């Protein structure tokens, strides 16, 4: 940013002397003014390079005229029509031109070439003009914008018509873009009003954006291309017209088609005397101070009997608006204490109940209104100023702030850091000649055209101290400071953190990859002097490393190789939300959101426990989650990936587990492979996507509490508050669509739809494909906020259609492994008889095999059954049979990976006596052969269960088995339980892995398909049958959810029935032999 002062009157006005710089005032004020009052300007020249986008917000003002300079596409060769005519020899006898004609473009392809050049010109306008109009509108809604065409000399040789045409196209393009935007917003407003009511959040927001005062005021002049100012720097042409246009717009003599002067209420308005007195003090101090500490500045004002802090703050903001200084007194810092946090409704525990995300003007700032207070009534002046936010220092000379930022954001930052370190080493005569480069490489290996987007806090201070103009001003400000706890360098760091230029980051985590460069284990150098600090405690707690998002390179890797919305583990789920920008996004949006989120996670590692506001704890009861620990950070210009861990302890057994949540965010267009719901997007739209992946138990509470709620709230708040001039649509994506369909076809719900659904008390929602989803998973509502109520027809209560459990339990068996060395049963699970004629039993594979290797555990397989003559109310099993594994998952032998946690057993022999104990008596029993003996097998009178491959969501089910989790006074594992029991639940989803899905490496268990049920299960039920109300087996229990004991997973009958068929064929072939 370059800053200039421009006084048109003293500069001589225009060549013909027609420039009128007098500010029109009302008659009363004119009678009190001695002489004319002329307009003066503070001119701020912003650099357009990507690296400086993050700094623009530091200097934008609402009371400004933005002059947008366009080169008319002169530097874009694609905008020029290429000559398509052939010479006369090439045309031959069939030429289309006449010998006397001067036309050279009389060919069929000339029209196509004209269209191509016009499309290139329109794209140039979109990239160089509309891009910046969106940027200005996002930060300063309703700003006045004056487009100016440069390179007029480029079209001087007979190209006047071409220049006029390009300016006309530019005017029409920008006007049509605004007309389409307003028309689209009005159409959506009509839809929102009819569907959700005029008071809905989106209706209110659109109505505000449609207010004429909030629309960009683009000033063109006349209705043709001649109305656009054209200038030439080489011939110094057109600048008198530009100066006159700027002055006339500012003074209100030209209104650009509006009824009132554009700067009405600002230019020509009375200035309170207090503001003028503060301005005089600022100007008197500017020779001595470039930057001054707040309390010292107040003490100087007090000498002039100015002692009201609120009035001083108001005057400083006014002076900042007119470019006199830079002041950030009411800019809120990210809060890291509860009292500093934005006011949020304490009853809010859902993303869709957060009052801080509403659009009410009174809540747009997180800082409370200033009350009038006198400095004499404040015991600690610094405490009074703390409420002002970033008010520790005032930049009396904005150039000093510009120069300080320029020290860091530079294209040769890496080289500059190296040179400063080397200069310090040489001046201090430190020993050693090893490299001081960022990564330990030699200076010859450093690339001066590639910057590393990380800087240490020490290096930042060294760069500032290395420049005489910044060092001298900072030392003087600190010398006259009444508060030495904060130095100008500390304040600069805080300021740059607040505006997203600096992002505090911890590089001691497992993996940190920024812009394609791995910073894991990055350490600060200790072989050069540290920067002194007067506050040792604060210095110790200050961040050591800063991430610079604006220095990220333009190229992004193939992010689709890093993230997928699919998941191969059925106990995981993916939650996704998005913000749709119908008319594009301003520059640097993703970088600022990345900076805001990473800064928040760095300053506030505590999780968002959305159950903390509820009276009842989550089930199962858990201690509050510990601090969030970022384990991985991967950042690019348009995306970031976080892996966050948090510890939870289970009260039931005292174990401490770490929950891992993966969070991914990206800004994409319709053509991106990672764009969800791209089928519902139009050309030019952009979608900001946030997605969290983790444990599905407790309706995704581990995901929401594990950082996803924090990231999503932070991003939405940032977009809503910082880009109030943009039209946005908040949406939620159907989790089932993400799992089962191409992501581009995923269904989305509008924010207003979710709010209306919650207001009606709805508990489930269907997408346009019919997928049934629980509202709690989508909104982040605590599981106990809305009790799960099944539809009446699927209530899990006994009814006329239920088969009595006592009639089913006699087909359920205990499956155990008897170890000859220890003379006891060492493993136990459940199973059921699927074929009574052949003595086939289906059970879980992990009961008889090691989970890590899937090798069979040594020992004899023992089967316990409930005798046929046992009491219906006392289903106690006895150990009666031995068995063998006849068929298991073939993939175990093929590649060592289990894709089906099931196996088929065949009963081989019967013990002479039924046994009640699981000890050595089992090994001492004589055995009777049953295998391959149909007659003996028939005499056993086995009971078998019917199998069904059909099931419905919300269908009531029961899981049968033998509980080995302990009961009453008997603890888990103390003795084997032989009494069968059951648990009720219902089906919630079926999980299936697509054939083209990538499998998790080094995982030995990768199930192809599973059925998810909400049903409390306990150890020992593994392998037990899950039956519907008709008593048909739809699957066997495979495992419980690691995060939610109420949630379990079944091996579907459709997966293991083929194993039963294989077993039958094997048995038939053996008999044939």
- pLDDT tens for residues 533-561? 444 444 444 557 888 887 776 555 567 67
Please check whether residue 229 is in contact with residue 148, taking contact to mean a CB–CB distance below 8 angstroms: yes
Q: Looking at the DSSP assignment, which residues form a beta bridge with residue 644?
A: 630, 661
- pLDDT at position 1059: 95
Cis previous bond, 620, omega within 30:
yes
Closest Cα partner for 817 from 843, 852, 853? 843
CA atoms of 584 and 887, how far apart (whole Å): 58
Mean pLDDT of all residues in 246-275: 85
- Alpha helices for 775-898 (secondary structure H): 775-779, 805-808, 845-848, 890-895
Lowest average pLDDT, out of 123-132, 397-406, 459-468, 924-933, goes to: 123-132
Asked which of 5-14, 265-274, 949-958, 1023-1032 is least confident by mean pLDDT, the reply is 5-14
Interior angle at CA 946, CA 945 and CA 950, nearest 5: 135
471 vs 683, residue with greater confidence: 471
Give the pLDDT confidence of 455-508 residue by residue, as tens digits: 888 888 889 988 888 899 999 999 998 877 788 888 998 888 887 788 887 766
Q: Using CA atoms in the order 24, 27, 29, 33, what is the torsion angle rounded to 10 degrees?
A: 80
Is residue 972 over pLDDT 70?
Answer: no
pLDDT at 889: 93
Q: Which of 276-280, 516-520, 739-743 is predicted most confidently?
A: 276-280
Looking from the CA of 478 toward its CB, the CA atoms found within 13 Å total 17
Q: How many other CB atoms are there within 10 angstroms of residue 1068's CB atom?
A: 11
Measure CA 723 to chain center. 16
Least confident interval from 291-295, 630-634, 807-811: 630-634
Confidence check: pLDDT of 183 > 80: yes
d(CA 403, CA 393): 16
| Contact yes or no for 229/242 (Cβ under 8 A) | yes
| 3-class DSSP assignment, residue 978 | coil
More confident residue, 647 or 254: 254
976-1031 tens-digit pLDDT: 888 999 999 989 888 777 554 555 555 788 888 899 898 888 788 999 999 998 89
**Predicted local distance difference test score (pLDDT) of residue 97:** 54
Q: Model-level pTM? A: 0.64
Confidence at residue 540, expressed as pLDDT on a 0 to 100 scale:
46
Mean of per-residue pLDDT scores for the chain: 78
Neighbours of 561 (CB within 10 A): 8
pLDDT in tens, 775-802: 888 988 765 544 443 333 334 444 445 6
Rounded average pLDDT over 88-113: 55
Closest by CA to 1022, choosing from 858, 849, 791, 846, is 846
> Other C-beta atoms within 10 Å of 784: how many?
16
Rounded-to-integer distance, Cα 584 and Cα 12, Å: 42
Among 1-5, 244-248, 672-676, name the one with the lowest average pLDDT. 1-5
Share of the chain above pLDDT 90, in %: 24
Which of the four pLDDT bands, split at 50, 70 and 90, describes residue 522? low
DSSP assignment of 497-529: HHTTSSEE--TTSSEEEETTEE-TT-----SSP
High-pLDDT (> 70) share of the chain, %: 74
Q: How far is CA 732 from CA 288, 406, 641, 694, 738, in A?
A: 56, 40, 19, 17, 12
- Taking residues 849-856, report their average pLDDT: 89
Q: What is the pLDDT of residue 1056?
A: 95
Residue 437 pLDDT: 43
* Rounded CA Rg of the chain: 37
Most trustworthy range by pLDDT among 327-341, 417-431, 657-671: 657-671
How far is 977 from 963, CA to CA, in rounded Å? 6
> What's the confidence (pLDDT) of residue 538?
46
Higher pLDDT pick, 656 / 3: 3
pLDDT at 622 over 80: no
What pLDDT does residue 673 have?
86
pLDDT category of residue 197 using cuts at 50, 70 and 90: confident
Is residue 783 within 8 A of residue 776, CB to CB? The reply is yes
Residue 827 contacts residue 814 (beta carbons within 8 Å): no
Encoded tokens for 218:
């683009």
Question: 333-337, 711-715, 810-814: which range is least confident on average?
Answer: 333-337
Question: How large is the average pLDDT for residues 625-639?
Answer: 78
Distances (CA, A) of 905 to 573, 680, 850, 922: 33, 52, 17, 19
**pLDDT of 620 higher than 50:** no
Q: Beta strand 390-395 with 503-504: parallel, antiparallel or unpaired? A: unpaired
Q: Among 97-111, 122-136, 277-291, which is the least confidently predicted range?
A: 97-111
Top pLDDT among 865 and 420 is at 865
Residue 866 pLDDT > 90: yes
Distances, alpha carbon 885 to alpha carbons 195, 818, 1061, in Å: 61, 14, 14
Name the DSSP class of 56: G
Rounded to whole angstroms, how far apart are CA atoms 904 and 1066?
12
Q: What is the 3-state secondary structure (H, E, C) of 78-146?
A: HHCCCCCCCCHHHHHHHCCCCCCCCCCCCCCHHHHHHHHHHHHHHHHHHHHHHHHHHHHHHHCCCCEEE
What is the C-alpha to C-alpha distance for residues 314 and 44, in angstroms, rounded to an integer?
22
Other Cβ atoms closer than 10 A to 256: 17
pLDDT given at position 1062: 94
Tell me which range, 49-63, 240-254, 608-622, is most confidently predicted by mean pLDDT: 240-254
- Average pLDDT over every residue of 964-982: 74
Looking at residue 435, what is its pLDDT?
A: 42
Distance CA 738, CA 1042 (A): 22
pLDDT at 452: 66
- What pLDDT does 87 receive? 54
DSSP 8-state code for residue 856: B
């Amino acid at each position: 940013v370059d800053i200039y002062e421009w006084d048109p009157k003293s500069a001589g006005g225009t060549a013909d002397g027609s420039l009128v710089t007098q500010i029109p005032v009302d008659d009363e004020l004119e009678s009190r003014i001695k002489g004319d009052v002329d307009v003066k300007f503070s001119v701020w020249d912003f650099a357009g390079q990507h690296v400086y986008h993050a700094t623009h917000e530091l200097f934008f003002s609402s009371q400004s005229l933005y002059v947008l300079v366009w080169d008319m596409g002169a530097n874009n060769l694609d905008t020029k029509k290429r000559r398509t005519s052939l010479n006369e020899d090439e045309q031959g006898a069939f030429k289309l031109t006449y010998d006397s004609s001067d036309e050279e473009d009389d060919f069929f392809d000339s029209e196509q070439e004209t269209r191509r050049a016009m499309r290139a010109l329109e794209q140039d306008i979109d990239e160089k003009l509309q891009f910046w109009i969106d940027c200005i509108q996002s930060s300063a809604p309703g700003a006045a914008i004056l487009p100016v065409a440069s390179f007029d000399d480029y079209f001087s040789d007979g190209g006047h018509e071409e220049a006029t045409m390009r300016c006309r196209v530019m005017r029409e393009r920008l006007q049509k873009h605004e007309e389409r935007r307003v028309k689209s917003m009005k159409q959506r407003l009509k839809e929102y009003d009819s569907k959700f009511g005029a008071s809905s959040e989106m209706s209110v927001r659109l109505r505000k954006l449609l207010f004429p005062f909030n629309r960009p005021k683009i000033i063109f002049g006349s209705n043709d291309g001649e109305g656009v100012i054209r200038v030439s720097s080489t011939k110094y042409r057109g600048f008198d017209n530009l100066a006159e246009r700027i002055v006339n717009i500012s003074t209100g003599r030209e209104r650009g088609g509006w009824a009132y002067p554009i700067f009405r209420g600002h230019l020509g308005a009375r200035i309170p005397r207090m503001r003028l007195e503060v301005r005089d003090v600022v100007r008197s101090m500017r020779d001595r101070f470039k930057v001054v500490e707040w309390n010292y500045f107040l003490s100087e004002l007090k000498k002039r009997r100015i002692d009201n802090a609120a009035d001083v703050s108001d005057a400083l903001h006014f002076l900042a608006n007119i470019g006199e200084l830079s002041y950030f007194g009411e800019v809120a810092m990210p809060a890291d204490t509860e009292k500093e946090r934005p006011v949020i409704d304490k009853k809010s525990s859902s993303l869709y109940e957060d009052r801080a995300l509403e659009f009410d003007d009174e809540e747009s700032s997180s800082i409370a209104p200033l009350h009038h207070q006198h400095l004499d009534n404040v015991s600690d002046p610094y405490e009074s100023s703390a409420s002002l936010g970033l008010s520790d220092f005032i930049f009396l000379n904005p150039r000093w702030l510009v120069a300080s930022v320029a020290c860091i954001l530079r294209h040769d930052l890496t080289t500059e850091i190296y040179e400063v370190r080397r200069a310090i080493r040489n001046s201090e005569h430190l020993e050693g000649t090893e490299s001081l480069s960022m990564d330990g490489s030699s200076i010859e290996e450093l690339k001066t055209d590639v910057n590393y987007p990380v800087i240490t806090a020490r290096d930042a201070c060294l760069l500032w101290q290395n420049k005489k103009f910044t060092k001298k001003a900072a030392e003087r400000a600190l010398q006259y400071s009444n508060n030495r706890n904060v130095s100008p360098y500390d304040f600069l760091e805080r300021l740059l953190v607040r505006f997203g230029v600096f992002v505090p980051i911890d590089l001691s985590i497992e993996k940190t990859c920024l812009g394609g460069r791995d910073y894991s284990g990055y350490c600060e150098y200790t072989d050069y002097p540290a920067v002194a600090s007067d506050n040792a405690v604060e210095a110790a707690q200050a961040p050591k490393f800063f991430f610079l998002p604006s220095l990220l390179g333009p190229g992004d890797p193939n992010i689709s190789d890093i993230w997928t919305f699919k998941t191969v583990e059925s106990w995981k789920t993916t939650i996704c939300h998005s913000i749709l920008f119908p008319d594009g996004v301003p520059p640097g949006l993703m970088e600022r959101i990345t900076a805001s989120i990473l800064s928040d996670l760095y300053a506030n590692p505590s999780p968002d426990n959305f159950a903390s506001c509820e009276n009842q704890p989550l089930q199962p009861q858990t201690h509050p989650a510990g601090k969030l620990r970022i384990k991985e950070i991967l950042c690019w210009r348009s995306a970031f990936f976080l892996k966050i861990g948090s510890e939870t302890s289970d009260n039931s057994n005292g174990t401490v587990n770490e929950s891992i949540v993966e969070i991914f965010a990206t800004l994409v267009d319709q053509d991106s492979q990672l764009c969800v719901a791209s089928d519902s997007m139009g050309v030019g739209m952009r979608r900001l996507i946030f997605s969290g992946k983790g444990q599905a138990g407790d309706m995704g509470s581990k995901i929401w509490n594990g950082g996803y709620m924090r990231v999503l709230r932070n991003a939405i708040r940032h977009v809503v508050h910082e880009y109030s001039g943009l039209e946005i649509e908040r949406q939620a994506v159907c989790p089932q669509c993400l799992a089962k369909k191409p992501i581009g076809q995923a269904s989305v719900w509008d924010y207003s739809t979710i709010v209306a659904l919650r207001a009606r008390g709805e508990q489930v929602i269907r997408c346009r494909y019919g997928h049934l989803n629980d509202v709690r998973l989508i909104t982040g509502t605590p599981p106990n906020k809305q009790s799960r109520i099944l539809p009446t027809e699927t209530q899990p209560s006994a009814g006329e259609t239920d088969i009595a459990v006592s009639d089913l339990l006699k087909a359920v068996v205990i499956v155990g492994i008897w170890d000859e060395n220890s003379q006891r049963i060492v493993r136990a699970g459940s199973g059921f008889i699927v074929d009574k004629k052949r003595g086939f039993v289906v059970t879980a594979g992990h009961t008889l095999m090691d989970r890590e290797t899937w090798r069979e555990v040594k020992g004899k397989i023992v089967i316990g059954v409930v005798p046929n003559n046992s009491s219906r109310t006392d289903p106690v099993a006895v150990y009666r049979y031995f068995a063998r594994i006849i068929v298991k998952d073939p993939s175990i032998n093929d590649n060592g990976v289990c894709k089906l946690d099931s196996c088929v057993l065949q009963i081989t022999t019967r013990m002479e006596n039924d046994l009640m104990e699981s000890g050595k008596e089992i090994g001492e029993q004589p055995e009777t052969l049953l295998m391959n003996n149909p007659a003996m097998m028939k005499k056993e009178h086995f009971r078998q269960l019917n199998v069904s491959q059909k099931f419905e969501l919300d269908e009531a089910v029961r899981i049968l088995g033998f509980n080995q989790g302990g009961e009453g006074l008997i603890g888990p594992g103390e003795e084997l339980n032989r009494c069968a029991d059951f648990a009720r639940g219902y089906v919630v989803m079926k999980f299936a892995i697509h054939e083209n899905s990538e499998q998790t490496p080094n995982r030995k268990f990768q199930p192809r398909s599973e059925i998810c049920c909400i049903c409390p299960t306990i150890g020992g039920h593994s392998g037990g049958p899950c039956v519907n109300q008709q008593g048909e087996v739809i699957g066997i229990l495979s495992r419980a959810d690691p995060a939610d004991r109420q949630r379990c997973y079944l091996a579907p009958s459709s997966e293991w029935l083929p194993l039963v068929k294989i077993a039958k064929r094997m048995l038939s072939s053996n008999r044939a032999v």
